[in-house]
Amino acid sequence: AQSVSQHNHHVILSEAASLELGCNYSYGGTVNLFWYVQYPGQHLQLLLKYFSGDPLVKGIKGFEAEFIKSKFSFNLRKPSVQWSDTAEYFCAVNAGGGADGLTFGKGTHLIIQP
Amino acid sequence: DAGVTQSPTHLIKTRGQQVTLRCSPKSGHDTVSWYQQALGQGPQFIFQYYEEEERQRGNFPDRFSGHQFPNYSSELNVNALLLGDSALYLCASSFASGGEGAQYFGPGTRLTVL
């Protein structure tokens, strides 16, 4: 079975600060990796995904993530955050086909102070 | 292009009752997955339907059952409701044959069990 660990449950940053949210997964085989975001009052939205190829993945709104297989990690980064990035961020993983059931981390609540 | 839709938005039930939640997938998608999201937690995978069959199931009791219709829409049924079933129930759709398809989420149904 897979598991996902997100190290930071609450993160508070000022606007223009750089962001890195940690995500580690536990699974011995090939995995697909995702970051989802849930803005206040909105539904889960896909930020970015990794299936294969270049381990540095670029997503929407200036976010990127790097898959480091040796560290079982898929950290989310953004060089300069904005107040509108305030949201809950979830890392997720599945195995096999991309459509398989996702295993989510507990989420990181990110607050950006103006 | 309509996204994933769910109904109802909110629902209040009492212990022991039964509930049915509904989901219409994103246009072009043929697979529907259901998740339970407790307050402050990441979504947990309940099960997935493809070609009107339950294709994959998470660690949920048999009180949770589902159905997929020929038009790919889906229902989640929960029998003998417990207080602990109070949560946000999320539906996600994807395209099974797409290889690198990701799952797209609906707004959810907030279930409160009294």
Per-residue pLDDT tens over the stretch A13-54: 999 999 999 999 998 788 899 999 999 989 999 999 998 899
Q: Is B95 on the interface with A (CB under 8 A)?
A: yes
pLDDT above 70 as % of chain A: 96
Check: CB of residue A34 under 8 Å from CB of residue A57. no
- Which of A44, A45, A99 has its CB closest to that of B96? A99
Nearest chain A Cα distance for residue B34, angstroms:
9
Q: For residue B42, give the nearest of A44, A11, A100, A57 by alpha carbon.
A: A44
pLDDT band at residue A1 using 50, 70 and 90 as cut-offs = confident
Beta-carbon separation of A99 and B50 below 8 A: yes
Q: How many CB pairs under 8 A join A and B?
A: 70
Residue A114: exposure state from Cβ atoms within 10 A (0-12, 13-18, ≥19)? exposed
Q: Is B60 on the interface with A (CB under 8 A)?
A: no
Q: Is A102 on the interface with B (CB under 8 A)?
A: yes
Residue B45 is predicted with a pLDDT of 96
